[in-house]
Structure 1
Amino acid sequence: MLTELEQLAAKIGRVLHHADTLAAENQRLRDEIARLEGEAVQLRSEREAMAADRELLNIKIEEAQLRIQSILDKLPTASDTRQLDLLGEGVTAHGGEPHKAPGEHA
C-alpha cells in the first residue's frame, strides 16, 4: 500500500508540474496576444492617418488640376490671331523672315 501511495504521489507531482508548465505557456500566449493587439491598434491608427493624408492629397491634386485647367482655358489657341509670339520665333511684319536674336546665325 505504501508503494501505491508513492506511485500515486509521483503521478500527482508530474501532473502538477505539467499543469505549471501549461499555466506558464498560457500566460506567455496571453502576453503575446496583448502585444499583438497593441500592434494592431497602432497599425490601424497609422492606416487611418495615411488614408486621411491620401484624401487630403487627392483634394489638393483636384484643386491643382482645376487651377491648371483654368490657366489653360485662358491661353490663346493656335487659331487665335491675337496670339502673342512670346518666344520671338514668328514671322516679322516687315521682311517675312523670322526674327533673330542678336548674335544668332542662320
Structure 2
Amino acid sequence: MLNELEQLAAKIGRVLHHADTLAAENQRLREEIGRLRAEADQLRGEREAMAADRELLNIKIEEAQLRIQSILDKLPTAGDARQLDLLGEGEAAQPRQQASGEHA
C-alpha cells in the first residue's frame, strides 16, 4: 500500500509540474496575444491614416487635372489666330488686336 501511495504521489507531482508548465505557457500565450493585438491596432491606425492621405491626394490630383484642363481649354487651336489668353485677360487684349488690325 505504501508503494502504491508513493507511485500515486509521484504521478500527482508530475501532473502538478505539467499543470504549472501549462499555466506558464498559457500566460506567455496571453501576453503574446496582447502584444499582437496592440500591433494590429497600430497597423490598423496606420492603414486608416494612409487611406485618408490617399483620398486627400486623389482630391488634389482631380483639382490639378481640372486646372490643367482649364488652361488647355484657353489655348488657341491650330486655326485660331488669337493670342494666348492664359491669364484670363482676353477682353483687355482683344481691343489692342482690333486696333492693330485696323491700321494694317
TM-score, L = length of structure 2: 0.78
More helix by share: 2
Please state if 1:11 is matched with 2:5: no
> What CA distance in whole angstroms lies between the structure 1 residues aligned with 2:74 and 2:18?
83
Give identity over the alignment, percent: 89
* Contact 1:76/1:83 (<8 A) preserved: yes
Kindly provide the amino acid, as one letter, of the partner of residue 72 in structure 1: L
Kindly provide the amino acid, as one letter, of the partner of residue 75 in structure 1: L
SS in structure 2 at match of 1:3: helix
Q: Which has the higher contact order (CA 8 A, sep 6+)?
A: 2
**Residue 29 of structure 2 aligns with which residue?**
29
* Contact 1:77/1:83 (<8 A) preserved: no
Kindly provide the amino acid, as one letter, of the partner of residue 67 in structure 1: R
In the alignment of these two chains, the number of paired residues is 84
Name stretches of at least 5 consecutive residues in structure 2 with no aligned partner.
85-104
**Residue 81 of structure 1 aligns with which residue?**
81
**Residue 63 of structure 1 aligns with which residue?**
63
Post-superposition offset of 1:79: 1.1
Question: Over aligned residues, Cα RMSD in angstroms?
Answer: 1.0
Post-superposition offset of 1:38: 0.3
TM-score, L = length of structure 1: 0.76
Kindly provide the amino acid, as one letter, of the partner of residue 18 in structure 1: H
